[in-house]
């Protein structure tokens, strides 16, 4: 893959006298000039509210907004753009499904299945739904190699769950789950399936039609686009049968004093003025990634992850977490008894930005038997030199805390 660092203005800055080494792309990615320019161009020449005005500017803004819906569908292999619902991100998408589908599908005593590697965004909404509907939430455990325990998963499916949900890629472990197989098993048990694709869509080719998940969700800010934009990809037949998530303008067909009828998909789930700027930026990000090639993006990241695992394994007293085999560009670790927050502060003094904390995955942290980890995540703009800078910064931290070689 070509060197893309020059496309990212923020990577040209220094931090504490060092070049910025940004290794927190699982949280949010930096933005290339092409995305920034698309947003500036929208506000400079196209800004208007969409779907409402008959004047030229509004028509052109609407065309730009809807063109991105089609681009999203193509990018993730969704067969029908009407099944692409723009949302603020993965969190809102999951809450939308939990609230809307949950109201009509989950009753007292029913079962919802999740896994122990979920981000809180794919756990808390289901906890709230289970509590509200007096349903049972069943958590599938992980194997010693940090994969979903398929035996435990099959046992959970014997309960005939109404909804099954799991992440495509763990934001802590880098585990890549066998989505198509898990979905097929859940469908055989009569469940509706939602897949959290926040850590997959930015990093590898995804074809939601081939995976056959009923709902697939992701966030734009994790794939070079602005914050506050993402997508829920749903099977239109299911979306049609679901009640609205929010009420307001745009999502209606007719309104009477005490009742209303609702707009067809996708507008039924897009109440109010949408984030047109974010959609325009998302379209620019998709075109940027398409030009790189998602196969190349995936290969680049996994090569960096392998190199990082090799280098980090040479550091005394450092513990790595995650599967030993193929994994995404996510590397979580602890170093001796240094608190991950202290570790992140020290490596930041060397210009290296990593994440520290529970990564919105406290149930998983308990299974790792730690309160928190440090985490380095890689993207298209990272290089082997970035990994080397991380290793050097960690060696400095080890020395500062008295863990130098004797």
What percentage of the chain exceeds 90 in pLDDT?
Answer: 96
Report the C-alpha gap between 384 and 30 in whole angstroms: 18
**Which pLDDT value is given to residue 404?**
59
Q: What is the per-residue pLDDT across 331-354, written as a single tens digit (0 to 9) for each?
A: 999 999 999 999 999 999 999 999
Report the C-alpha gap between 324 and 146 in whole angstroms: 9
> What residues contact 385, with CB distance under 8 A and at least 6 apart?
none
For the chain (406 residues), the mean pLDDT of every run of 10, in chain order, is 93 96 98 98 96 94 98 98 98 98 97 98 98 98 97 98 98 98 98 98 98 98 98 98 95 95 96 97 98 98 96 95 92 96 97 98 98 98 98 94 65
Bond preceding residue 392 cis, omega within 30 of 0: no
Helices of type H across 193-339: 208-211, 236-241, 276-292, 294-312
**Which pLDDT value is given to residue 406?**
41
The CA radius of gyration of the chain, in Å to the nearest whole number, is 22
| 3-class state of residue 24 by DSSP | strand
Question: Is residue 330 a contact partner of residue 375, using CB atoms and an 8 Å limit?
Answer: yes
- Known catalytic residue at 360: yes
pTM assigned to the model? 0.97
Report the C-alpha gap between 253 and 148 in whole angstroms: 44
Domains in the chain and their CATH numbers?
5-30+294-400 (3.90.1150.10), 35-290 (3.40.640.10)
Q: What Å distances lie between residue 169 and 172, 202, 203, 217, CA to CA?
A: 9, 11, 10, 12
**Tokens 């500017």 appear where?**
57
**Which pLDDT value is given to residue 325?**
83
> Is residue 259 classed exposed, middle or buried when 0-12, 13-18 and 19+ CB atoms within 10 A define those classes?
exposed
Tokens of 69: 């819906």
Distance of CA 188 to the CA centre of its chain: 26
DSSP string, 173-232: T--B--HHHHHHHHHHTT-EEEEE-TTTTTTS---HHHHT-SEEEEEGGGTTSPTT-EEE
Q: What is the per-residue pLDDT across 289-321, written as a single tens digit (0 to 9) for each?
A: 999 999 999 999 999 999 999 999 999 999 999
**Tokens 């060092």 appear where?**
18
Report the C-alpha gap between 26 and 90 in whole angstroms: 13
Catalytic residue among 101, 360, 368, 394: 360
């Amino acid at each position: 893959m070509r060197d893309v660092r020059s496309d990212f203005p923020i990577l040209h800055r220094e931090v504490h006298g060092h070049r910025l080494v940004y290794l927190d792309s699982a949280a949010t990615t930096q933005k290339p000039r092409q995305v920034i320019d698309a947003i500036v161009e929208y506000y400079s020449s196209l800004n208007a509210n969409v779907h409402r005005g008959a004047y030229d500017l509004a028509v052109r803004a609407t065309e730009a907004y809807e063109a991105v819906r089609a681009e999203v569908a193509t990018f993730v292999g969704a067969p029908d753009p009407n099944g692409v619902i723009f949302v603020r991100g993965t969190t809102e998408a999951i809450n939308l499904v939990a609230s809307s589908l949950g109201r009509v599908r989950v009753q007292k005593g029913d079962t919802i299945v999740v896994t122990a590697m979920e981000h809180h965004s794919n756990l808390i909404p289901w906890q709230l739904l289970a509590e509200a509907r007096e349903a049972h939430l069943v958590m599938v455990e992980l194997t010693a190699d940090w994969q979903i325990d398929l035996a435990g998963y099959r046992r959970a499916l014997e309960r005939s769950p109404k909804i099954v949900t799991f992440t495509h890629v763990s934001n802590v472990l880098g585990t890549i789950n066998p989505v198509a197989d898990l979905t097929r098993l859940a469908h055989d048990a009569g469940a509706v399936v939602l897949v959290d694709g926040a850590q997959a869509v930015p990093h590898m080719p995804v074809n939601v039609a081939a995976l056959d998940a009923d709902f697939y969700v992701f966030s734009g800010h994790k794939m070079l686009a602005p914050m506050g934009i993402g997508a829920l990809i749903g099977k239109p037949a299911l979306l049609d049968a679901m009640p609205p998530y929010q009420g307001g303008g745009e999502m209606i067909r007719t309104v009477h004093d005490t009742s209303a009828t609702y707009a067809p998909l996708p507008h039924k789930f897009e109440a109010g003025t949408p984030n047109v700027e974010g959609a325009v930026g998302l379209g620019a990000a998709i075109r940027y990634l398409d030009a790189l090639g998602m196969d190349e993006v995936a290969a680049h990241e996994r090569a960096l992850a392998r190199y990082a695992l090799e280098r980090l394994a040479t550091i005394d007293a450092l513990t790595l977490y995650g599967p030993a085999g193929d994994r995404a560009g996510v590397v979580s670790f602890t170093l001796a008894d240094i608190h991950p927050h202290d570790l992140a502060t020290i490596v930041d003094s060397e210009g290296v930005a990593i994440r520290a904390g529970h990564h919105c995955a406290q149930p998983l942290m308990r299974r790792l038997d730690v309160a928190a980890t440090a985490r380095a995540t890689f993207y298209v703009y990272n290089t082997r030199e970035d990994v080397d800078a991380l290793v050097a910064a960690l060696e400095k931290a080890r020395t500062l805390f008295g863990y130098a070689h004797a």
